[in-house]
Amino acid sequence: MTNRELMLDYLNCTEEERDEKRSQLCSAVKNENERVELLIQLKQEGEIKPEQGNRIVSLLYLSPSSDEDMDVFGKELKIMTWLADSGCAWAQCRIAELYELGLGGFAKGGLAKDERKALAYYEKAAKGNEDFRQWVRLGRLYKKLGMPQKALNALLKPIIWENGEIARIKDFNSYDLGTELFDILTEEGSIEVKKEHIRTLRKLVTYYCEKGEGEERDAGEALRKLIQIYEMNCGKFSAENISQEREPARRSDQNTGRNANNRNEQRNNQYVKTSSGCLGAFIFLTLVPCGVVGTAIWLLLNVF
């Protein structure tokens, strides 16, 4: 089979054959630039469609490591942008990542960092897309751009429920979800936290602590403390609440210390009183008899 036929075979195969056909294509056409040129040719001939976008995206690395790679990157970016503008969610996410991170450090053809454009592409990819798995990235961008309520709503989206319990977290960055939730809820500013949010956070604590490992378990413990802070501060999450929560704890410790000192002082006073009474009894019981005996001896020696 020619390289052209291998490419078309991969793009039009069944989902079960996909990995095998991709491997055959990449073994025959090892050079990345050759694969990109082949895609450009097929696009001009009308042989590829936006519906094949997820398979095309998997052939485009979009990760230049030198100025020499930028020519290939420029060609890949044109194909990716065409797919993204045609409604391919996979391409929209990839373009969003590029704008979020930026590739402007190369001498030519770099892509400048633009978080507003990244946000726009993430939102397009998420709209009506049940397979969207970049909610954590989207929530992080909302937070950075000053939209905390949207950030909170986005971060809760990838949680999948079954029978009232969290079954899984549908996100490529699920291990970051707990950390991002902690950060957004403790930031300065007002966030509308509803009862269902708190219920979700409680379930997330259970999910992380029972099913998670390492960082996920740490995130679960952090969220557990966060819920306690929420309950102690009249249903508010903010950095101010955190500091206010810590201050009563310090005052409580100080009061506990003062009460302990008072109890010690009372015990000391009681000890002094008790000791004084014991000493008086000792003197009475010891010296008085000694006085009687001494008087008797004197009388014996001087009178009789």
Q: Give the model's pLDDT for residue 229.
A: 67
Please count the CA atoms within 13 angstroms of the CA of 169 that sit on its side-chain side: 23
Q: Give the model's pLDDT for residue 72.
A: 84
Q: Give the model's pLDDT for residue 67.
A: 65
Closest CA to 10 of 38, 33, 37: 38
Provide the residue ranges of all domains of the chain, joining segments of one domain with +.
1-131, 133-242
Could you report the average pLDDT of every consecutive run of 10 residues in the chain (304 residues)? 92 92 92 90 90 89 71 87 91 90 61 90 89 90 90 89 88 81 70 76 83 74 74 57 42 43 48 44 43 47 50
Q: Give the model's pLDDT for residue 119.
A: 95
Q: Residue 11 corresponds to which tokens in the numbers above? A: 């793009």
The residue ranges of DSSP E strands in the chain, in sequence order, are 159-162, 165-169
Q: Residue 22 corresponds to which tokens in the numbers above? A: 């991709």
Rounded distance, CA 99 to CA 82, Å?
16
Q: What is the DSSP letter of 102?
A: -
